[in-house]
Amino acid sequence: MKTFVTKPAEVERNWYVIDASDKVLGRLAAEVASILRGKKKPIYQPNTDAGDYVIIINADKVRLTGMKEANKKYFISREYIGHSSHTSYKAMKEKHPERIVEHAVKGMLPHNTLGRMIYRKLHVYAGAEHNHQAQKPVTYDF
């Protein structure tokens, strides 16, 4: 019996649309990271990118549990020492609501070149509109 090795050129990739309205941020990010990595496929291998493309709409309607909405802070790094700052969840939600979901998903992916390649397959939009109709995405419910 021979060992099966997944080749990136042979992977069939699908497009999924996920509506983030009233979804908990961490649970949404965990599910999206699993789809992006391809963990739900039988050909999954940890050293290969076998995942699908994910489009997240309504990222501005995602919610947090407990007191996180009042206490959560995002660290913003700058080029110079001492110029870094923190941004609250409320300020981030007003200015860039899509970055909240992107930050959560990116933290659940591998922190190496493979993780950066996988992260490129994520598309997040604050509203209900997206410009990927040509790819014929399928709605994904969980």
Q: What is the CATH number of the domain that holds 107?
A: 3.90.1180.10
Q: Do the domain assignments include residue 36?
A: yes
pTM higher than 0.75: yes
Domain tally, the chain: 1
Q: Do the domain assignments include residue 31?
A: yes
Q: Do the domain assignments include residue 105?
A: yes
* pLDDT of res. 124: 98
* pLDDT of res. 42: 92
Listed in sequence order, the residues at least 6 apart from 34 whose beta carbon sits closer than 8 Å to its beta carbon are 40
Q: Do the domain assignments include residue 82?
A: no
Q: Do the domain assignments include residue 69?
A: no
pLDDT tens, per residue, the chain with 142 residues: 898 898 888 999 999 999 999 999 999 999 999 999 999 999 999 999 999 999 999 999 999 999 999 999 999 888 899 899 999 999 999 999 999 999 999 999 999 999 999 999 999 999 999 999 999 999 999 8
* pLDDT of res. 7: 87
Taking the C-alpha atoms of residue 137 and residue 17, their distance in angstroms, rounded to an integer, is 6
3-state secondary structure the chain: CCCCCCCHHHCCCCEEEEECCCCEHHHHHHHHHHHHHCCCCCCCCCCCCCCCEEEEECHHHCECCCCHHHHCEEEECCCCCCCCEEEEHHHHHHHCHHHHHHHHHHHCCCCCHHHHHHHCCEEECCCCCCCCHHHCCEECCC
Q: Do the domain assignments include residue 81?
A: no
Q: Do the domain assignments include residue 72?
A: no
Q: Do the domain assignments include residue 47?
A: yes
* pLDDT of res. 57: 97
Parent domain of 110? 12-64+97-139
| Tens-place pLDDT, residues 106-128 | 999 999 999 999 999 999 999 99
